[in-house]
Structure 1
Amino acid sequence: MITTLAIENYRSLRSLVVGLGRLTVVTGANGTGKSSLYRALRLLADSSRNGAVAALAREGGLASTLWAGPGAIGRAVRAGEHPVQGTVRRGPVSLRLGFASDDFGYAIDFGLPPPGASFFGLDPLVKREAVWAGPVLRPSALLAERAGSALRIRDGRSWLAVPDAVAPFDSMLSEYTDPQRAPELLTVRERIRSWRFYDHLRTDAEAPARQARIGTRTPVLGHDGGDLAAALQTIRETGDGGALGAAVDAAFPGSELAIDVAAGGRFEVRLRQPGLLRPLGAAELSDGTLRYLLWVAALLSPRPPALLVLNEPETSLHPDLIRPLAGLILTGVARTQVVVVSHARALVNALEHDAAELTRIELVKELGETAVAGQGRLDQPPWQWPKR
């Protein structure tokens, strides 16, 4: 389980270190940085697949994603005694992302390429990258690190140097594979690659989830939801069919979920509801009903990830579906670590009321910088960044 998430210089997240629990709810007013935190988590996941550089380039390059405020905000500025002013940069340009668990930690540091060195000027370079044992980076806990293209791996009490192991724009997690010399890199990589993200699942008239699709066993719901019918049937056959039925009944009392298989093996969702003479197909379901069924498929996956991140799952849901959604999320927490990003007070209150244990992170904006409400420096989890 991830216990600490650290982000530095990503958009409004100038310096953020937060603790995560089995169930973490990230909340706050609009514009406080919830989406930035969600996207930073996705960038971390992209690093394990060598997709972070491309993701940053799509956002306009590293320069467009960096913290736009001054490098330091003094007490007088925070007290309103002086206006915000630019400061002289004392260190290199850096965007840093990292996380830690009880067994392993990982951090990556992106920097700017030399001006005019390449046509790919929007591609940031990986300046530093490290994997360590335990929740805090210490010299004695370091297992592998890279500086530029050079990699070194701990070999007992000494180090094994691997020159030119990775290109400066590649991640060592995705590009270096040696199960004998560096099994920890493979462990961290596969763990991150199992992370799953869902946001703004489509429910419009042309949404893939409304279409009949050829079905195969689907233990993991696709990000577009097009395999919804197959995913629900997979839960019924190989997962927790009882939890599936309970989740549907909690939201739509007396209703029964059915999966029709047409000629050619095309699967389609149908919902039988009290008082209706025929079941409703996916194309007829309301946006909220369909979205709830999508969350059912995501949260009851027979192949749970190491981390499941939901971005504003309450979107399009009727208020009556908020508590069933909270119950569904809590069912998912029994299978995996869950992070919920939401500004819906009703959902947050329902989770706080029903969860046995919940970590709440309320984000606020102070002089353009995202901070955690009520968190002082001494309240942050311990964290150290790899030094350049």
Structure 2
Amino acid sequence: MSEFFHIDPRIEKAAQKALELCRESFLKIEEITEYNQQKMLAAFAKAGVSESHFAASTGYGYGDRGRDALDQVYAMAFQAENALVRHNFVSGTHALTVALFGVLRPGDTMLSVTGIPYDTLRGVIGLEGDSSGSLKEFGIRYEQVELKEDGGLDFDAIAKRVKPGLKMVYLQRSRGYSLRPSLFVEEIERTAKLVKSQAPDCIVMVDNCYGEFVEKTEPTSRGADLMAGSLIKNPGGGVAPTGGYIAGRADLVEQCAYRLTTPGTGREIGATLGQNRELFMGAFHAPHVTGEALKTAAFAAALYELLGFEVTPRFSDPRADIIQVMKLGNEKSLVAFCQGIQKGAPVDSFVTPEPWDMPGYDSQVIMAAGAFTLGASIELSADAPLREPYAAWMQGGLNFHSGKLGVMLAAQAMLENGTLKF
């Protein structure tokens, strides 16, 4: 029992049983974590990382050895030909946007085979709103293939849509605000093989957010030409204060670098302003921290299933990302859950999250996120729109012990407001 937090003994007992149920899952997670941590350490060694790489550059940033070594580390860790890792990517959506504008040209077609992308990318494509400068405005066509009823990829439909001359097939690995399963690297590889068999020059691009270091391999080692993500999710290890990455084929990454800065200068410029040390440290911690988030997710799945709620994925299921969904049944339960998660945060634990009208959503949204880095999804957080099926999307946990406590405090909050019954 906790000496520092009030948790009902019945929740403590259920948590102990949940830990027992998770024993085998934890062993599998730790095996993947160890493999990826060794891979990361090897990447640091091969890149010859030294203290001199932490030095700050200013102005144009010419000759920044640390910036170049960081790109090498991520490229090797992602088993990609090259990588572009920068603190001035302001979000994962920004990194994805630079990648899309970097390789697509007027008249090209982008085919999403995982249905409609996550909300923040819709304005980039030109599907929603009237944002100036969308892909649509530049004459880039967008098409999509819907997922099957079970949320899986519809390979038959994809095969019918992929033709020679198609420029890009796009996959979103994680589920977003949906209940469909996240994509495993094996499924991405199968998609890439199908695409290349029918359109060899087609670019296979992956939104890899939430999926980095969850499996032993990454999409770029199994057929994907390009992928992108955020450093305040898995690959920043909870240390990177901001930033993002693009990784993949060397020629495509170079095109993205020209879009990030200017044609002709590309990756050769860009001052690091003293950010290198934190980005290196974040990369080094990323496999371990991702493993801690996965253990937190598996424990939460086991506990809430024992408490009578439907969860996805289940504690024993293999995982393709760090996101855990709990279907809590009603608005009152959902709000209590998020408020309990907030109480388990190291930052702003005294804040009480409340539902609010968030731009871009058709219902109120509640968010719990007491993080050292604003918006960092690798730190324990939970958010949800207040609509059926009243599910909470939980992710993160810098270390399992605090993550476990936050999950238990969420159950305690539900018990106290009468929505959890024993």
TM-score computed with the length of structure 1 as normaliser = 0.26
The answer to which structure has the higher helix fraction is 2
TM-score computed with the length of structure 2 as normaliser = 0.24
User: Which of the pair has more CA radius of gyration?
Assistant: 1
Task: Point out which structure has higher relative CO (alpha carbons under 8 A, 6+ apart).
Answer: 1
The answer to which structure has the higher strand fraction is 1
